[in-house]
């Protein structure tokens, strides 16, 4: 498709393309060409992994102001805290980290009122084993607790963080009401729209900060991490329905969808995967069905095991524990089984009592005189003992 560039530049309608560097335009056409190839080949086995990651539908036309980014594959120069961009010149930037490896391409992107530069490099990294490759944990993501962790003991470990959307909800609603009163595309409308974009940027930055801290703490301290292979896009489908078949509990489902998106489950798993790969660890995705209703002690699966959102009581053996922990423990057991490893559930010594956080422990009906209360802890993000 790059062959059409010369003709487009010579036309009156698209003469503005001459202002951009030719390789920048070629990169945009390569992205378009790849989008068409992915759409046409989305049913082929070779593209199965890509098809599962993203919905490769027919490419959508996008207005020129939708994505303010462009990419240089070569021709750029980097010297200290400045970068040379063809047809633009030398531009200074804040160097937030050292540039390791050989720079291969540069992407310039505008988000709200800020410009960012991303430098992709190539670096040979020797293969290394994770220092804690023997540590296997299971992770269950949720709404009440963002992350529940099971490490093979009865100890509960949770990672929670305040919802950034709730923190900014009143301010965001107020600014959106102001926007609705202004004439569309007027100067005041554009200014107000930028204010709203800044709020969304703050929300996004807070979320990313928490996700980075959580994923770094887990990837640093555990070599094998199991997660549910959730199809998040299917989980957040609207329940509104149609006129012929109206949906049920639409408001509750909308709130759940909003909470899932606000937590950033997909982004968290992506961060966790690349950090584990970098440090020599492994991220294992397991079948998610029934994790919260299956007993980790006797493997009995029933919806009746889930007495409430927080309490799990097995109808077969009487095993009692926090329901989110149970989901994480089943993920851990399935992870070990998938890798051909043995990872039994470890109990405290008989007669040993571990007080639960806040004194709220659920005592399972084991032998008389034996107390096995679970230990609960909500971990601040970034701590080293996760």
**Could you tell me the sign of the dihedral formed by the alpha carbons of 194, 195, 199, 205, in that order?**
positive
CA 288, CA 331: separation in Å to the nearest integer?
8
268 — pLDDT class (breaks 50, 70, 90):
very high
Q: Are 143 and 229 in contact (CB under 8 A)?
A: no
Structural tokens at position 205: 């930055």
Residue 120: band (very low, low, confident or very high) from pLDDT cuts 50, 70, 90: very high
pLDDT of the residue at 42? 64
Catalytic residue among 151, 228, 273, 329: 228
Residue 365 pLDDT more than 70? no
Give the chain's mean pLDDT: 84
| pLDDT at position 377 over 60 | no
Select which of 151, 273, 324, 374 is catalytic: 324
Is residue 98 annotated as a catalytic residue, yes or no? no
pLDDT of residue 328: 97
pLDDT band of residue 243 (cuts 50, 70, 90) is low
Residue 70 has a pLDDT of 94
In angstroms, the CA 200 to CA 7 distance is 40
CB atoms within 10 A of CB 182: 15
Among left, alpha and beta (phi > 0; psi -120 to 50; other), residue 4 is alpha
- Which of 6-20, 32-46, 332-346 has the least mean pLDDT? 32-46
- Report pLDDT for 350: 41
pLDDT of residue 14: 87
Instruction: Give the sign of the dihedral formed by CA 322, CA 301, CA 348, CA 338.
Output: negative
Identify the active-site residue in 140, 156, 273, 374. Answer: 140
Whether the Cβ atoms of residue 150 and residue 325 lie closer than 8 Å to each other: yes
193-203 tens-digit pLDDT: 999 999 999 99
Mean pLDDT of 225-253: 81
CA end-to-end span of the chain: 51
Q: Is residue 327 a contact partner of residue 292, using CB atoms and an 8 Å limit? A: yes
Q: Please check the confidence at residue 366 and state whether its pLDDT lies above 50.
A: no
Q: Are strands 311-313 and 320-322 parallel, antiparallel or unpaired?
A: antiparallel
Cβ atoms of 75 and 164 closer than 8 Å:
no
CA dihedral 359, 365, 366, 367 (to 10 degrees): 100
The answer on pLDDT for 53 being more than 70 is no
Say which residue the tokens 């050292």 belong to.
98
Does the active-site annotation cover 43?
A: no
CB-based contacts of 151, cutoff 8 Å, min separation 6: 135, 136, 137, 157, 222, 332
Contact at 8 Å (CB) between 265 and 271? no
**Residue 258: predicted pLDDT:** 86
Beta bridge partners of 226: 138, 284
Which range has the worst mean pLDDT, 27-36, 115-124, 208-217? 27-36
pLDDT for residue 361:
35
Smallest CA-to-CA distance from 137 within 214, 212, 208 is with 214
Cα–Cα distance measured from residue 75 to residue 80, given in angstroms and rounded to the nearest whole number: 17
């Amino acid at each position: 498709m790059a062959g059409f560039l010369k003709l487009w530049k010579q036309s009156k309608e698209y003469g503005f393309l001459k202002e951009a560097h030719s390789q920048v335009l070629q990169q945009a056409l390569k992205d378009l060409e790849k989008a068409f190839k992915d759409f046409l080949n989305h049913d082929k086995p070779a593209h199965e992994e890509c098809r599962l990651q993203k919905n490769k539908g027919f490419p959508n036309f996008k207005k020129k102001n939708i994505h303010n980014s462009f990419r240089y594959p070569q021709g750029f120069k980097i010297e200290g805290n400045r970068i040379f961009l063809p047809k633009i010149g030398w531009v200074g930037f804040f160097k937030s980290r050292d540039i390791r490896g050989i720079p291969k391409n540069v992407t310039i992107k505008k988000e709200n009122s800020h410009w960012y530069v991303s430098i992709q490099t190539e670096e040979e990294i020797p293969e290394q084993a994770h220092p804690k490759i023997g540590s296997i944990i299971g992770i269950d993501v949720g709404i009440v607790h963002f992350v529940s962790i099971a490490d093979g003991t009865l100890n509960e470990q949770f990672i929670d963080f305040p919802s950034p959307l709730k923190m900014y909800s009143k301010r965001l609603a107020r600014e959106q009401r102001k926007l609705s009163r202004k004439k569309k595309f007027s100067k005041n409308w554009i200014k107000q729209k930028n204010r709203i974009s800044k709020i969304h940027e703050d929300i996004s930055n807070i979320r990313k900060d928490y996700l980075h801290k959580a994923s770094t703490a887990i990837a640093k301290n555990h070599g094998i991490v199991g997660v549910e292979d959730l199809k998040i896009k299917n989980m957040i489908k609207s329940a509104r329905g149609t006129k012929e078949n109206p949906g049920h509990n639409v408001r509750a489902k909308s709130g759940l969808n909003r909470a899932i998106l606000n937590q950033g489950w997909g982004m968290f798993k992506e961060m966790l995967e690349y950090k584990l790969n970098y440090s020599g660890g492994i991220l294992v995705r397991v079948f998610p069905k029934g994790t919260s209703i299956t007993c980790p002690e006797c493997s009995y699966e029933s919806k009746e095991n889930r007495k409430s959102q927080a309490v799990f009581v097995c109808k077969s053996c009487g095993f009692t524990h926090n329901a989110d922990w149970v989901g994480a423990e089943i993920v851990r057991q399935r992870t070990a089984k998938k890798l051909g490893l043995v990872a039994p559930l470890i109990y405290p010594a008989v007669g040993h009592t571990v007080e639960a956080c806040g004194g709220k422990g659920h005592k399972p009906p084991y032998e008389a005189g034996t107390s096995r209360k679970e230990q609960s802890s909500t971990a601040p993000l970034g701590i080293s003992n996760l």
